[in-house]
Amino acid sequence: MLRRRHLAAAVVVLPMIAGRAGAQAWPSRPVRWVVGYAPGGGNDIVARLMGQWFSDRLGQTFLIENKPGAATNIAAEFVVNAAPDGYTLLLVGQPNAINATLYETLPFNFIRDIAPVAGIMTVPNVMVVSPSFPANTVAEFIAYAKADPGKVNMASAGNGSAAHLAGELFKSMTGVNMVHVPYRGQAPAIADLLSGQVQVLFATSPASMEFIKSGKLKALAVTTAVRAEALPDLPTVGDTVPGYEASAWYGLGAPHKTPAEIIDRLNKETNAGLADARLKLRLANLGGTLIPGSPADFGRLIAEDTEKWGKVIRSANIKL
């Protein structure tokens, strides 16, 4: 009888031990971190910086896998359908909040199907033009665009991207007519802006900062409500267009039903990275503001931005 009781107890205890061991063993192989844009853009830069931090801290390689297209929906759907085991993650951003309203039908519900893990940073978009463009301020840009309607080509990182919506909001609030030219990411959009194929881009600061500092691109304004710490001499679009504000942000997400132990571990390591002096400086140099916090904090940001951009899209009647 005593032996049977010991065996029965073992049947109960062993799975509990195995479950804890499984959680503690993660990650035991490389982790894929999916980015919805081409290499070289702001999303990609932030993911690679944080991915290296995770690799160093967790002892496994975090592989950045770029899956551009459909304004990040291809990447999001891929992660939604991945096994919820902590080995496939998503770089979450403002486009995911935008797409919930912009697309009439999606094969997933982002808020339901992606678990928020951690916020990383918010960044201003920067209204940039080529150095030869005949405008040095937002007011001069508006005057030029109104004098030559339809002759200003506005690049974006794709239909429904943060850059696209920032530009559409600008158009609706100023009455200017710009031709939207979508690309498969910010890097190719910036390349054509540098060569003069397009005239303006509402670029994220991580993707445009070095071009601004080197003088290869001319920055007219930032899209945040207040001036950006990294570009303190640059006015806001709202200084000329009262009420205008459009900020991008980045964070980490995982498939729904990913074990809480893994989400908590990733959240802890993300916050540790945002507190690390060296990584903090590198992220700050991209022009962003760090947003450490809990998974619930990041979930609220996603929900609030989904509601905000839903109102903008519906009121401006923006269609793909």
| Number of Cβ atoms within 10 Å of the Cβ of 109 | 11
Q: Do domains 30-122+248-316 and 124-239 have the same CATH topology?
A: yes
Do the beta carbons of residue 127 and residue 244 sit within 8 Å? Answer: no
State residue 18's pLDDT score: 43
State residue 20's pLDDT score: 47
E strands present in 178-230: 178-182, 200-204, 218-222
Give domain 124-239's CATH architecture: 3-Layer(aba) Sandwich (3.40)
CA–CA dist 146, 135 (Å, integer): 13
CA–CA dist 184, 251 (Å, integer): 20
Q: Which pTM does this prediction carry?
A: 0.76
With a cut of 50, which residues of the chain have pLDDT below it? 7, 9-11, 13-23
State residue 161's pLDDT score: 78
CA–CA dist 61, 68 (Å, integer): 21
The CATH code of the domain at 30-122+248-316 is 3.40.190.150
Do the beta carbons of residue 205 and residue 286 sit within 8 Å? Answer: yes
State residue 10's pLDDT score: 47
CA–CA dist 243, 223 (Å, integer): 10
State residue 280's pLDDT score: 92
pLDDT per residue over 134-190, tens digit each? 999 999 999 999 998 889 999 998 877 788 889 988 998 999 999 999 998 888 999
State residue 5's pLDDT score: 53
State residue 277's pLDDT score: 96
Convert 148-169 to b/e letters by CB count within 10 Å (16 or more is b): eeeebbbbbbbbbbbbbbbbbb
CA–CA dist 134, 122 (Å, integer): 30
State residue 204's pLDDT score: 85
E strands present in 57-113: 62-66, 88-93
- List the domain boundaries for the chain: 30-122+248-316, 124-239
Residue in the block written with tokens 């029965």? 8
